[in-house]
Structure 1
Amino acid sequence: MMNRKITKIAGLLLSLILLTGCFAGCKEENEKEELVIGITYFAPMNYMENNELTGFETEFAKAVCNKLGMTAKFQEIKWESKENELNGNAIDCIWNGMTIDDERKETMQISVPYMRNKQVAVVLKENAEKYKDLTNLEGVTVVAEAKSAGETVATKDETFKDASYTAVDAQSKALMEVKSKTAEICLVDYVLTIGSIGEGTSYEDLVVLEKDFAPEEYGIAFKKGNNELCDKVNKAIQELADEGELNKIASKYKLQDLLLVQPSK
């Protein structure tokens, strides 16, 4: 009798252990690792539409995460403090139309360049003729996002040496400053102007001047030394290009002609 009870108890314990293991396995299978992605709202890269985050970078990041078996978690950051967010482990990467430069290469692990860009000057349509050559800018108010490539142009390019520069906290804010006539000129990413300026947009009274500045390339930034994650993302990006998915996502936002990563076969 005692042996039967012991056998029965042992059987129940074994079943419980197996069941617990099954639940743990199921949980592990269903719970994907998160990739915390630092962004700012910056159409057509990351922006809100019908209360949902969308945009080229948003879809691009999700597609890469899907390849890696991860879940994309987007977290808004202040662009001027992006390095602190990354180095303090508040985010895993910066994926938001970030310009690659020598200084950032020294302090961050950066992916393959995936898109071309340049800086452009935006003015009110009524002022296009006045500023078309970007000369005689003494006292003219110029705005750009703090710590952006636009700010570098505003503060270091000879064109704007006599202008009055003011930093704002987002490129979208720079457009608003010009629209509201608080500033005469803003310097922003060319990709921002695609689909955001002109007829049928919120900024149909703004125009992009012909002269452009600072040809550049975008990359994804990881914490310095995180080669493993950077390499995995690079591999996934190339796979998306080979499958035609990257071009498909870019075409949706009229950015396909700016892509740098091309199919390898």
Structure 2
Amino acid sequence: MRTRSKFVAAVALAAVGGLALSGCTSTAGDSKLIDSASLTACSEAQYPPFERPEGDKIVGIDADISSEIAKDLGVDLKQVNTAFEGLQSGQDLDNKKCDIAISAITINDERKTKMDFSEPYFHDDLAVVVPKGSSVTSADQALDGTHTIAVQDATTGQEYVTGKGLQPQGFEDATLAATQVSNGSLDVLIDQVAPASEHLKNFDNLQMVATIPTGESYGIAVRKGNSELLDSVNKTLKRIQGDGTLQSIFDKYGVKATA
């Protein structure tokens, strides 16, 4: 989920100012933050519409949700761009690189052993993306063993393909994976539907020919045992789901809400 090896050097980005509302009572002291004045959020920034780099900031659905969490805590938001492997493995949380990992991370049993997850905020399936004019018109054809497949490393897309006994070519980010299919180097991209739809906006020679129902749910992760912060995250998710803020965020980025 991009070539971003230089950009992904886990550099803390500028704090988003003005998030602490005047008169708001901060609860950050009860939430075991790395820095009591900031919520440090790690994302892999090349995965639009959930995150993408814009200047010295990360913008997108997950960035906007992070801002809402920071606002409710009464602190600033500090963004860190880092490789997805460190997020989905829980390593960045354990090493205290960040307080929350928020990067379209699918909740699954293996990841639950390494980190604690919030309630889901988005649900998605996998998509099959090919160049226009491709002979591949279904998921069965894409996965029949005769086509080269691009995936992002450490993702559920990669897990799904390898689970079929195939050996996809993994890339550090999804945009780079999509580029390989767009330029004809590889035949098929397997990615989640929401980001795959974004690829179609950026690569006009690609098309989505099928979806693979997986019922994946995205969650926000915290270090194991950080129940105070997890409670705060869930309270914010409940608020933004109830007051329409989350729907507004999805609308802003042209994503159909499924949470």
> Does the TM-score normalized on the shorter chain lie above 0.5?
yes
Aligned residues: 222
The equivalent of 1:91 in structure 2 is: 98
Residue identity matched to 1:130: V
CA displacement 1:62-107 (0-9 Å, x = unmatched): 1221111121111111112222111111111110100000111122
TM-score, normalised with respect to structure 2: 0.79
Answer yes or no: is 1:216 the counterpart of 2:204: no
**Structure 1 unpaired stretches of 5+:** 1-28, 261-265
User: What SS does the aligned partner of 1:194 have?
Assistant: helix
Answer yes or no: is 1:112 the counterpart of 2:116: no
Residue identity matched to 1:238: K
Q: Distance in 2 between matches of 1:256 and 1:217?
A: 14
C-alpha distance 164-108 of structure 1, shift in aligned 2 (>3 A): closer
Q: Distance in 1 between matches of 2:136 and 2:118?
A: 41
Q: 1:69 aligns with which of 60, 74, 78?
A: 74
Residue identity matched to 2:248: K
Q: Distance in 1 between matches of 2:117 and 2:176?
A: 27
User: What SS does the aligned partner of 1:96 have?
Assistant: strand
Whether the 8 Å contact between 1:194 and 1:254 is mirrored in structure 2 is no
The equivalent of 1:181 in structure 2 is: 184
TM-score, normalised with respect to structure 1: 0.78
Residue identity matched to 1:134: D
User: What SS does the aligned partner of 1:140 have?
Assistant: coil
Q: Distance in 2 between matches of 1:202 and 1:219?
A: 26
User: What SS does the aligned partner of 2:180 have?
Assistant: helix
Q: Distance in 1 between matches of 2:110 and 2:36?
A: 34
CA displacement 1:188-230 (0-9 Å, x = unmatched): 1111023431xxx321111112241422000001111011101
Q: Distance in 1 between matches of 2:73 and 2:97?
A: 20
| Superposed displacement of residue 138, structure 1 | 2.9
Whether the 8 Å contact between 1:140 and 1:164 is mirrored in structure 2 is no
Residue identity matched to 1:37: A
Q: For 1:123-134, what aligned pairs fall within 5 Å after superposition?
A: 123-127=130-134, 129-132=135-138, 134=140
Structure whose residues are more often helix by fraction: 1
Runs of 4+ in 1 over 2 A off after TM superposition: 48-53, 129-139, 193-196, 254-257
- Root-mean-square deviation (CA, aligned residues, Å) is 2.0
User: What SS does the aligned partner of 1:94 have?
Assistant: strand
* Larger radius of gyration between Structure 1 and Structure 2: 1
Q: Distance in 1 between matches of 2:57 and 2:128?
A: 30
**Structure 2 unpaired stretches of 5+:** 1-25, 27-34
Q: Distance in 1 between matches of 2:248 and 2:184?
A: 38
